[in-house]
Amino acid sequence: MMENSRKARERAEAALSGPPERPAKGSAVGIIAAESLATQEKTARLKKLRMERDAAEAPKVVKAKTTKAKAKTTASKPRAKKSAG
């Protein structure tokens, strides 16, 4: 008898408690949008810092390398034709 009243109480509490707590509809979209915005802001901030750093450094003089073009010395040998038969 005790078992029946416990089950009845659980059913009553479940019926009266209402729907379980759920996050607001569309909250995942809001979270994704917020993360995307944060990523864009961080990227912009880092790009600005990188450009400031590069502007502060003196430009390096790069000496152009002079290389001589090598002529191809290996000629392909003509292949022997196979006879049919």
The DSSP secondary structure of 20-60, one letter per residue, reads PP-PPTTHHHHHHHHHHHHHHHHHHHHHHHHHHHHHHSPPP
pTM for the predicted model, two decimal places: 0.39
pLDDT per residue over 13-61, tens digit each? 877 777 666 666 677 888 899 999 999 999 999 999 999 999 988 777 7
**Cα atoms in the Cβ-side hemisphere of radius 13 Å centred on 52:** 6
Q: Which of 9-13, 34-38, 60-64, 69-73 has the lowest mean pLDDT?
A: 69-73
CA distance 75 to 79: 12
